Chain A
C-alpha cells in the first residue's frame, strides 16, 4: 500500500534540515563507555536493566520460598519479607520495565525506524544513561545501609513508610526516594530526546502515519512519562522533606507507642493521589511500547499487514490520554467520596474499548496469516493470551463494588502480574529474540529459545493463575505468614507450595536465556542484514550491526507504510519501506506499481 498523503510514488519532498552532525569518538572511552551513539546507549541501558531485574527475580524466589514453606527459612523474617516485596515491585516496574522499554528499545529502535542518524541530542542522551546508572546504584546501596532497604511496599504510602515500625525507615526510605528522584531526572533527559526525534527528525517520506507501531508505542509512552513522572517527583520530594526535615505534608497527627509525634495536619490521601497520578499512566508507559512491539512482531512473523493500522494508532493515543483520568481506581478503599469512585469506574471501563480494539486487531492480523512459529512469534502469541487473561480480571477490579472485597488480596497480585508483569516481559523476550540479529549480527539459538518460551509461558500461568483462587478465598497480599486464619485451608498451603516450586523452575529457565545471549554472541548463526524479511527501515541498513550514523552517505527515503507483507502480485512477500516500486512477479524490471 502506498498511501495517498504524499502523492504519487516518487514524489518525496526535499530534505528540510541539514544532515545531522555527529560526535565522532576519539578514543576507546568515548567509543564504548561514555558513548553518544544511541545504539551503544541502548545496550548499556538494557544490560543494566536486565542485571537489576535479576536482583528482583531472586527477591521473588525468596518471597515465594517463605510463602510456599512458611518458617522453614528463618532468615526471611517479617521485616525481610516486606523489604523483599518492596524492592521486587519497585525494581520490576521502574528500573527494569520502564528502563528497558524506553531507554533500551527506544534508543535502539527510534532513530533506526524513523530513518535518523541518531537521537537529536546525543550528548544529553548519554547523560541520561549515566544518571540512570547512578539511580540504580543508589537503589542497590539501600540494601547495605543500617536498617536495610525500605519495606514500605512499592506504593510507599505514608504515614507508615516513614514511621519507626516499618523496616528501612532509617536510611532505606531516604535512598529509595533519592533514587527515584535521580531516575526521573535521568529519564527526562532521555525522554525529551525520544519525543523530539520522532516529531522533528524523521527522514524524507516518513510521515507519522507511516511509522511502525513500535515507534508509536514508545513515542506515546515517552510523552506520557514526561507528564506522569512529575507527580512521582513531587511526591518523592515532599516525602523526603517529611522524613528528613520533619515537615507534615503527608503526615496527620499520630500517636506512636503512646507518644504523640511531632507531625500533624498533613494529608496521606494527597500522596495516594500523587502516586497514582503517576502510577496508573506508568502501567501504560510499560504497556504501550509492548503493544507497539507486539504488533510489529505479529505482522512480520505472520507475513500479513497489520489489521486496521490507523485504528491501532488512534487506540494507542486514546489509551495514553485516557490513562490520565483513571488513577483513583487504585483508591476505592481509601475512603474517597463515593461519587469519585463512580467517575473513576466509568473512565476505567471506557479504556477497555480502545484496548479491546487492539486485541481484536491482533487477532484479525493473525487470521488467515502465514504464521511462522518462530521464537519471537511464540512470545508475541503468549503476550496476547496473558494480556487477555489479565485484562479481563481488570474489568472486575475496575468496578468499585467488586473491588472492595478483592482489594489487597492475592487476586490483585494475580491481576497485575498477568497484565503488567508477565505480558510486557514476554514482549521484551520476543523483542530481544527478534532484534538480537540486528544488534549483534547473529541469530539466537532457536531450540534454546523454544525451551525458554514454553517453560516461561506455561510456568507463568502455573504461578499466577492459582493466585486468583487464593485471592477469592480471601488470602491477603503482603502477608508474611497466614497463621491460623479461616481462609488458610489445606488447599491454600498446597497451592502455595506448588506455586513456589514452579516459580523456582521458571526462574532457573531464565538462565537458559542468559546463556543463549552469551553463547550466540560467538557461536550463533550468521544473521545477514534482514533474517526475518521485514519491511521496516532498521532491517535495511547498509551494515549489520549498523555503523555509527546508521546509514551510509545518504539517508533512506520512505515510500510506503511499514506493513507491505504478501502484497498480491509482488515478487517477494515483503516490500521494504524504502523501496519505491513494487517488483511484480514476471513483469519487466522497474515497471510502475
Chain B
C-alpha cells in the first residue's frame, strides 16, 4: 500500500492554484472527497433555488393582477397592534442563530469534544425544528385566511403558488437537515468517530469531518433563506 506523505512544499497564491491544478492526484489539495462532493452538490442546488426564485420573479411580473402586499399578508396582530413581518423576523433570527450553534459544533468536533459537539448539534436541530414549526404555523394561518396554491383573496394567484412552492422547498431542506443533524449527533455521542466505527453500508471509517460537511449544508440552507426573505417578503 502507498505510504501517505506530506506533499512537497507548494507555492502560495495564484501560482499555488495553478500548481495544484497542473499537479496529479487532487485538484483541491487538502480538500477531502466528502467536502468536495458537498460543495459541488451545493453549487447544483444553488442553481435550483436560483431558478425557482427567478421563475417566481418572472411570474410576478407576467401576471396582470396586482400582487398582494407582503407586509400586510405577513402581519400578526399581537395584543391589538398589527406587527408587519414579525413572525418572519423571528424565524430569520432563529435560523441565523442556528448557524452560530452549528459553527460551534464544528469547532468542538475538531477538538474531539464528544459531548459538547453533540449537544450543540442537537441545539442546532432544535432551532431548525422550531423554524419549521413556525413555518407550519404561518402556512396554517394563511390557509385559514383562504390562501391556496391556485388563488387567494387579495390578488394574483401566483402569490400563493410561489409562496408554497419556495418556502415548501426550503422547508424540506431544513427538515432533511434536522434529521441528519440528529443522526450524526447520535453517532458523535456514541463515540463512533473516536473509535472510527465503520459505516454499515459503506464500511468506511467514521470521522469527525462529517460534522463539518453537515455544517456546510446547514449554512447553505440559512444563506438561501436570506435570499428568500429579501426577494419574497421584502419586495
Residues of A within 8 A of B (CB): 5-6, 12-19, 21-24, 120-123, 188, 192-193, 195-196, 199-209, 226-227, 229-231, 233-234, 237-238, 241, 245-249, 262, 264-267, 270, 274, 277, 553-555, 558
Contacts and interface: CB of A to CB of B under 8 A. Distances in A.
A508 B51 CA distance: 44
23 contacts: A14-B5, A15-B5, A15-B25, A16-B25, A16-B26, A18-B1, A22-B203, A120-B33, A120-B37, A121-B33, A123-B202, A201-B26, A205-B24, A208-B21, A248-B150, A249-B55, A265-B59, A265-B63, A265-B157, A266-B59, A266-B158, A270-B55, A553-B1
B3 A248 contact: no
Interface stretch (B39-47, B74-82, B84-92): B39-47
Nearest to A246: B150
B3 A14 contact: yes
Nearest to B169: A237
A5 B7 CA distance: 16
B158 A13 contact: no
Contacts of A246: 149-150
Given A247-B150, A554-B2, A267 B41 contact: no
Interface string B18-36: 0001111111110111101
B48 A233 contact: yes
Given A121-B34, A237-B165, 9 more contacts: A5-B22, A21-B205, A23-B201, A199-B28, A204-B24, A209-B22, A233-B48, A265-B158, A274-B55
B171 to A, nearest CB: 14
A231 B150 CA distance: 23
A231 B59 contact: no
B65 interface: yes
A160 B52 CA distance: 22
B7 A226 contact: no
B156 interface: yes
B51 A122 contact: no
A122 B33 CA distance: 12
A558 B4 contact: no
B14 to A, nearest CB: 17
A192 B40 contact: yes
B7 A267 contact: no
Contacts of B158: 247-249, 265-266
Contacts of B25: 13, 15-17, 200-204, 206
A273 B95 CA distance: 33
Contacts of A204: 2, 24-25
Given A121-B37, A231-B51, A267-B59, A200 B26 contact: yes
B161 interface: yes
Nearest to B29: A16
A44 to B, nearest CB: 18
A558 B24 contact: yes
B4 A234 contact: no
B205 to A, nearest CB: 7
A203 B43 CA distance: 26
Contact of B22 (A122, A208, A553): A208
A532 B49 CA distance: 47
Nearest to A197: B33
B59 A200 contact: no
A229 to B, nearest CB: 8
B36 A249 contact: no
A152 B160 CA distance: 27
Nearest to A262: B150
List of 3 A-B pairs having minimum Cβ-Cβ separation, nearest first = A265-B63, A15-B2, A247-B161
